[in-house]
Amino acid sequence: MELDRLSRVFDPKRVEEMFDVGDVDRVLVVTTLLICFSAWLWWYVFWTQRNRPGPYEFPVIGLLIQAQANWHRLHDYITDYLYNVDTLRVNIGFGFMAVMTADPANIEYIMKTNFNNYPKGPRLISINQDFFGQGIFNADGDLWIHQRKVAAIEFNSIRLRNFNTPIFNDFGIRLVHRLMEKSMSKSQIDLQELMSRMTLDTTVRIAFGVDLGSLAPTLPHVPVGKSYETASTCSFTRFSHPFWKVEKFFQFGQEKRLKKAVADLDAFAYDVIQKRKKELPDGKFMEQVNEEKDDLLSRFVKMSKQGDNRFGDRALRDIMVNYILAGRDSTSAVICWTMYMLVLNPEALSKVRQELAELMQKQSPPRDWDHLSEEKAIEAFAELLTFDNVGSLTYLHATITETMRLYPPVPLNTKEAVADDILPSGQIVRKGDAVVFHPYGMGRMPYIWGPDAADFKPERWIKDGVFQPESPFKYIAFQGGPRLCLGKDSSYLQMKITVALLTQFFDFKLVPGHRYRYKVMISLIFDDGLPVTVHKRKK
């Protein structure tokens, strides 16, 4: 019986029926095609591009796979290629071409010399539209120009001196009190989360005349802060997600979260706008609280009520969202990276503290700092941080500047070419190309900063005791040309006041074993926060 069964299984005719010649032919054809395709792909990717600078590109998808694989370290990934060649033209994916550059001459040409050929562009505006709307960071042309002119009033030196400095001091003191309380428990805290609370409070207070109370003793949940973080994260994710429009259409995934976060932001913004319109019924500032209501939102509301139809409620909402980005995320990020670098570089920290000690000794009339109570010492030191005194802190200014050279608040910036062009380096730019400059990478380039480019050296900014600025197209943290950041001086003022307060009253220690690295976002923030232990500094 067993022999009969085996003979049937291995019967030649049965085998021929099961595996006919046609199937064999098809297998051979498919195998041959796969071998030929693999050979062609290898030839296209690794042979034809072997002498071309930059990353290998695959047909159609370009750099999409590599970019996704390196997304967690995107800025270092770009830096690796720009390190050897300062300008590249690459296929990001599906024919979307980008010119990436770290050449200061190219950047000056893009941002100043031929500025009109390199606006934000419809592609970038479309990606950010749901979140930023037509605010100043997502606008081109006349709308951008008009918003910038009105906003410039917010950042003049008299206003910084008389209005912003006391507010920065007030919220800096609140931050110090929260840290004093945290130091008692000796448990780790997320310094980045506290910084975000402080800069959110100051931005909303200065620009919109509202006190959110994020730094109240209980550190309450502030919905607008969480909604803003969610919207920012989801909006930026679109850059790495070629099919985000499909998600938006069917409302799932990140796009569903984005819609909910934006709706919450809208509710907050429109509520503030309506209240302000009621406070300014005829478009004039209230005489008794002129300074109190002399904020950015009030000026735009006044223009709206006087017939400027460019500033309806939607436009006012966009302005609010954009300025929260400018004041909250960027400033918070730089303060956090500065404190991180000072912890890693105790010699620089010692020099910052020495400069502060010299400022305290110059106070007239002199104070007996050693015998002040903790509360009195905090108030007295904050009073010392006037507009003029803060401006005299040269080494602190250099320390923050050096931090931004290595960890710029906006690590990547994109424009779009309106017409074909040739950059000073000789690189051809085609109409519709994205033009990307990379402040993060530029700060690490020996061909820009010399062989010690990767080193943290605040002294590189000081000559004969005087701070020496660099070209804004070499040091691109605040951009340059017509789009030079209006809030540069205001940001420096708050950052210097805050870092001075923190270094004067506290010692910070990093948490062993934690990986301190950036998160790929619009602003260069820490991934998983900035956990530290905080200790009161001994007198």
Give the type of residue at 462: I
Burial 317-352 (b: 16+ CB within 10 A, else e): bbbbbbbbbbbbbbbbbbbbbbbbbbbebeebbebb
Residue-by-residue pLDDT tens, the chain, 539 positions = 444 554 554 455 554 555 454 566 677 777 777 777 666 555 555 555 556 666 766 676 667 777 778 888 999 999 998 998 899 888 887 777 889 999 999 999 999 999 999 998 888 888 888 888 888 777 877 777 877 877 777 677 687 788 889 999 999 999 999 999 999 887 899 999 999 999 999 999 988 888 899 999 999 988 888 898 898 888 888 887 778 888 888 898 889 999 999 999 999 999 988 888 888 766 554 444 344 456 778 888 887 777 677 778 888 888 888 888 878 889 999 999 999 999 999 999 999 999 999 999 987 777 888 788 889 999 999 999 999 999 999 999 999 999 999 999 999 999 999 999 999 999 999 999 999 999 999 999 999 999 999 999 999 999 999 999 999 999 999 988 988 888 899 899 999 999 999 999 999 999 999 999 999 888 999 999 999 999 998 76
332 and 313 within one domain: yes
If phi > 0 it is left, if psi is from -120 to 50 it is alpha, else beta; for residue 219 that is left
Distances (CA, A) of 52 to 49, 428, 469, 479: 5, 15, 36, 30
Together in a domain, 402 and 439:
no
Inside any domain, residue 75? yes
- Are residues 339 and 282 located together in one domain of the fold? yes
Range of the domain at 438: 52-117+412-451
User: CB under 8 Å to 322, separation ≥6 — which residues?
Assistant: 132, 133, 135, 136, 137, 138
Q: Which of 173, 126, 239, 147 is nearest to 383 (CA)?
A: 173
Q: CA 139, CA 145: separation in Å to the nearest integer?
A: 9
Same domain, 445 and 509: no
- Encode 200-232: b = buried (16+ Cβ within 10 Å), e = exposed: bbbbbbbbbbbebebbeeeeeebebbebbbbbb
368 within domain boundaries: yes
Tokens of 190: 């997320």
Considering only CA atoms, give the Rg of the chain.
28
Cα distance between residue 389 and residue 385, in whole Å = 6
Indicate whether 14 and 96 sit together in one domain.
no
Domain count, the chain: 3
CATH of the domain at 242: 1.10.630.10
Using CA atoms, how far residue 122 sits from 119, 128, 179, 531, in Å, is 9, 10, 44, 39
Query: 328 in a domain, yes or no?
Result: yes
Same domain, 173 and 294: yes
Residues 41 and 63 in one domain: no
Rounded CA-CA distance 293/299 in Å is: 9
Q: Which CATH number belongs to the domain containing residue 94 in this structure?
A: 3.30.43.20
* Same domain flag for 104 and 216: no
Is residue 461 situated within a structural domain?
A: no
User: Which parts of 253-345 fold into alpha helices (H)?
Assistant: 254-279, 296-305, 313-324, 330-344
- What are 110's two structure tokens? 């893009």
Residues 502/535, Cβ–Cβ less than 8 Å: no
pLDDT digits (tens, 9 = 90+) for 125-135: 888 888 888 88
157 and 56 co-located in one domain: no
Residue 4 in domain: yes
Residues 438 and 361 in one domain: no
Name residue 139's amino acid.
A
pTM comes to 0.87
Q: Are 55 and 415 in contact (CB under 8 A)?
A: no
Do 95 and 215 lie in one domain? The reply is: no
Confirm whether 467 is domain-assigned: no
Q: Is 336 annotated as a binding residue?
A: no
Q: Same domain for 400 and 503? A: yes
